[in-house]
Amino acid sequence: MSNFSIYIDESGMSNPKTWKESPYFSLVGLMINDNSRDKFKFDLETIKHKYFKNKEYVLHGAEIIRELKLRKQLNNFCIDINKFLKSHTFFLFIINTDKEKAFKKGWSSSTILTRSYKLIIANLIKFLIAKDYKGRICSEASYVEQDIFLYKSFFHFLSNGIEKLSITPEDVKYHLTSISFVTKLNNDPEEQTVDLYGVCGKTHAQILSKKAKLTDFNPLIQILYSSMLKKLFINKSKKPQKSKYFSQINSFIQIP
């Protein structure tokens, strides 16, 4: 049985009252086979050493753009990061909240966080059970008031399963085995990668609503967005048992 690690990161503020300053809140999950993680780490550290002279450099989108623009290396970095993303197999799951719509519906920050975490974890559970894999969740720690919603959502499924798909609590416990919180200083390459993809939720929403075109964004966002479209999980299975779960997975969900 294969083991997968699922890295989750959030982008934006969850409080819907801040929709004017921060229109979207996104959760992004990156799922990768544990057998692929060593090569993933080596290749990303090679890029970090090439451009920042430090394998321990912590990647963050805005800082990368600012620093590499000054050194006129941004385009070369984008070429290399694009090659890196294309060369590795992993899946993305995204929950994106339009906070203006959430505010008008009377949603609170708690509503957004509860729905977002339950949706992304449900997708991960369906994937793991359909493939008969085991998985563990890793999330970047932010602050306790927000992290507790991930913890509660995790235990919601441990206690209740997913009744409409006949997924029992025992099924969930067998396939989704642990949850942990990490910081950027833990230097997980997958956590830094999912952090880079954080911008894709709002980018996708802006493009779909025709508020922006892809060419309006900087080169790194263009690379990440194009990569996201290819990394979102798509059900290609024709086996009935797998399709039962896969057909219920929506790898990009816009709420409300």
The pLDDT of residue 186: 81
Distance, CA of 174 to CA of 191 (rounded, Å): 24
The pLDDT of residue 70: 76
Lookup: tokens for 77: 């970095």
CA distances from 160 to 163, 169, 174 (A): 7, 5, 14
Strands 3-11 and 134-140: parallel
Q: What is the largest CA-CA distance in the chain?
A: 55
Residue-number span of the structural domain to which 91 is assigned: 3-255
- 147 pLDDT band, cuts 50/70/90, is very high
The pLDDT of residue 85: 98
Lookup: tokens for 160: 């209740």
End-to-end CA distance of the chain: 36
Give the pLDDT confidence of 117-134 residue by residue, as tens digits: 999 999 999 999 999 999
CB distance 122 to 162 below 8 Å: yes
Q: With 70 as the cut, is the pLDDT of residue 240 above it?
A: no
Reduced to 3 states (helix: H, G, I; strand: E, B; else coil), residue 231 is: helix
Give the pLDDT confidence of 170-211 residue by residue, as tens digits: 999 999 999 999 887 788 999 999 999 999 999 999 999 999
Number of domains in the chain: 1
The domain spanning residue 130 has which CATH number? 3.30.420
Give the pLDDT confidence of 52-110 residue by residue, as tens digits: 999 999 998 888 988 888 778 999 999 999 999 999 999 999 999 999 999 999 999 99
50 against 65, higher pLDDT: 50
Q: pTM for this one?
A: 0.94
Question: Exposed (0-12), middle (13-18) or buried (19+): which is 238, by Cβ within 10 Å?
Answer: exposed
Give the CA radius of gyration of the chain.
18
φ and ψ at residue 156, rounded to 5 degrees:
-60, -45
Q: With 80 as the cut, is the pLDDT of residue 137 above it?
A: yes
Distance, CA of 80 to CA of 48 (rounded, Å): 10
Distance, CA of 174 to CA of 177 (rounded, Å): 6
Question: What is the chain's mean pLDDT, rounded?
Answer: 94
Mean pLDDT of 13-34: 97
Q: How many residues does the chain have?
A: 256
